[in-house]
Structures are given as structure tokens and as C-alpha cells.
Amino acid sequence: MRRLVGETTIRPRQLILPMFVSEEADAAGAPKPISSMPGVVQHTRDSLRAAAAKAVEAGVGGLMLFGVPSTRDAVGSGGTDDDGILNVALRDLRSDLGDTTVLMADTCLDEFTDHGHCGVLDDEGRVDNDATLERYADMALAQARAGAHWLGPSGMMDGQVGAIRRALDDGGFGDVGVLAYSAKYASAFYGPFREAVDSQLQGDRNAYQQDPANVREASREIELDLAEGADAIMVKPALSYLDVIRAASEVSSVPVAAYNISGEYAMIEGAAANGWVDRERTILEVLTSIRRAGADMILTYWAAEAATWLD
Ligand code: PBG
């Protein structure tokens, strides 16, 4: 009876797997475990190709790639360099996978900057929004040349979707889409991700990410991103923000994604490792809740594994 009347479904095609590729791990010839995210690694180019193929085989709808460079500078040069680790890995995956999955790239500078901020800094050490947009435009073009189908600007700069859209259109990449991180909160749950990308950040991102206390500004960010040409929008994190996902799904005229982030992953893996929760049931309950709240797509580190359960 439950099977007959269940309202919410999850299909593998609705899941997007975030993956990390590291220049250092690649040089060392072995993937490097991320201690705060048991089961997730910083990949080498080869191990990334193998894991991506497996995820696609399991039916995931997309892959979101993050690059971890071995050297960083103030402007995040590694992100715009055609030979930078992220762009090289995108080229590998696009040549292996073609159009069998939606290949996505994180369009943000924080992995590549030596100060760890998502943008470039002004003379007083503050993030310079408009100077950053120029860097994002260059980064977008490098990622489009490397074969990304969708770009995921995660830096929360004002005007980032419009700047990237214009650069893509002017560069002849009109068919490359933009998944806008519209409502991205300044969250403590990003902790494990900072380890995953060897983040250099001191301090916080409160000057550009949203206050967890607010929901109204999420609607405003969504409206702006839609006006700037977003093809899909995102709410992040997911679990403490199910109400925001609901609100977003009510106002958005494009598909809504939610990012089930690193700290949400770590909490459940930690509890499951201690035998405190049933791992598989908990994961499926979480993914179902995010879908029920209104997300069309979910970015989750469990995407490949959960896809095999769902099939
Ligand atoms: C920034 C970025 C972050 C995440 C994705 N993109 C971290 C941050 O904003 O500090 C977090 C993802 C996660 O925690 O799983 N490029």
C-alpha cells in the first residue's frame, strides 16, 4: 500500500555526484582520502576517470567537478589556466563520457587562491566583487573550452550569472548552461569541504554568503539569477534549509537543485560508523526529504552509491 501511494520518488538521473581531483594526488599516483569525509577522496586523473565512469554506469544525472591545485596565488591563476588541474580533468571526462552525463564544473576561485576567498581581494583585503566577475568570465571560458556542459558559479558574487552568461555567449558557447548557486548560506557545515580542497581560508565568507537567519533574500537572489539567465538554481546547504528549498521551488521558473553538503555527509557517516543510525535508511530518508521539499536535483556525495540502491 505504501508503494502504491508514496508521493515522492528519487531516480538516479536526479542525482549529481560532486568529485575532487587533486594535482598533488595525481603527482603521487594515488587518490588521497579525506579524513572528515570517509569514503570520499581527492582523485588522481586516472582514479577520477574510473570513478566517473562507474557513477555514470550507475545512472547518475551529472558530475560536479572541483579542482585542488598544488600551487595557489592571489588571483587563482590555476582556475583559468587551460592546463590547470580542473580544466585538464574536465577534458579527460568529456572525452571519456561524451554526452552520457551532464559534466559540471565549479566556477569559483577559492580552491585556487592563496587566501582561500572566492574572489580577488582589493587593497584593503576585502573581496572585490566586480574585479572577481572578470576572473569568473575567464574561468567560465576555460571550463567551456575544456568541455563542461554546465558551470556552477558558487562564489556568491553579485552579477556572477550575468557575467558568465555574457562571456559564454560572446565566446561561442551559447549551449553551455549555468547552474546558479542562488541561495548559498554562510554555513558551518562546509567544514569537511575545506579539508577536501585544502582550503587556505582564514576567517569566514560572511561578506558574500547569506545569513542563516534569512529566507527573504534567497527569493531576491533567485529572481536576480533568473533575470541574469540562470538555467537552473540551487539552494545550499540542504538539510537545515528545507524551507528555503520549498520557497525556491515555489518561485523558480527553472529547475531547482539542492546541495547535500560535506558536513551533512560527515554527520551521517560519523553516526553510522558508530552504529547509531542505519546508514542506508538514513541516507535515503535524507534524499527523500530534500526531494519532498521541492528539489528537482540533488548534489550528494552518495549519488553513485544511492543510485545503485534506487535501481
Ligand atoms: C566554494 C564551495 C564550497 C562548497 C562548494 N563550493 C565551500 C564554501 O563556500 O566555503 C561546499 C560544498 C560542501 O561543503 O560539500 N567554492
Cβ(106) – ligand 1 distance below 6 Å: yes
Closest CA to 241 of 209, 281, 270: 209
Q: Confidence band (pLDDT; 50, 70, 90) for 143? A: very high
Average pLDDT over residues 18-33: 98
pLDDT at 116: 95
Per-residue pLDDT, 34: 97
C-alpha distances (whole Å) from 282 to each of 19, 178, 189, 217, 279 are: 22, 31, 18, 31, 5
For residue range 59-113, list pLDDT tens digits in order: 999 999 999 999 999 999 999 999 999 999 999 999 999 999 999 999 999 999 9
For 230-257, write each residue's pLDDT tens digit.
999 999 999 999 999 999 999 999 999 9
Measured in whole angstroms, the distance separating CA 79 from the mean position of its chain's CA atoms is: 15
Pick the atom of ligand 1 nearest to 263's CA.
14
The torsion angles phi and psi of 306, rounded to 5 degrees, stand at -60, -35
Per-residue confidence band for 311, with pLDDT thresholds at 50, 70 and 90:
low
Looking only at the bridges linking them, the beta strands covering 150-152 and 102-106 are parallel
Q: Give percent of the chain with pLDDT exceeding 90.
A: 99
Peptide linkage before 237 cis (omega within 30 of 0)? yes
136 pocket-lining for ligand 1 (C-beta < 6 Å): no
- Mutation test residue for ligand 1: of 193, 299, 300, the one with most atoms within 8 Å of CB: 193
Domains of the chain in start order, with CATH, are 9-310 (3.20.20.70)
Tell me the best of 135, 190, 234, 259 to mutate to test the pocket of ligand 1, counting ligand atoms within 8 Å of each CB and taking the most.
Answer: 190
pTM of the model: 0.97
Residue 139 has pLDDT above 90, yes or no: yes
Q: Is the CB of 193 under 6 A from ligand 1?
A: yes
Q: Which grid coordinates are listed for 45?
A: 586523473
Cell of 23: 594535482
**Ligand 1 contact, 154 CB (< 6 A):** yes
Catalytic residue annotation? 184, 236
Determine the average pLDDT of the residues in 175-204: 95
**Phi and psi torsions of 233, nearest 5°:** -120, 165
Task: Kindly tell me the sign of the dihedral angle through the C-alpha atoms of 223, 188, 72, 24.
Answer: negative
Query: 262 C-alpha vs ligand 1 centroid, how far in Å?
Result: 8
pLDDT of residue 200: 94
**Which pLDDT belongs to residue 184?**
96
Q: Which atom of ligand 1 is nearest to the CA of 184?
A: 9
Q: Which of 137, 127, 164 is nearest to 79 (CA)?
A: 137
Compute the distance between CA of residue 67 and CA of residue 80 in angstroms, rounded to an integer: 12
First and final C-alpha spacing in the chain = 20
Average predicted confidence (pLDDT) for the chain: 97
Give yes or no for residue 298 having a pLDDT over 70. yes
Q: What is the pLDDT of residue 117?
A: 96
Rounded CA gap, 299 and 311, in Å? 18
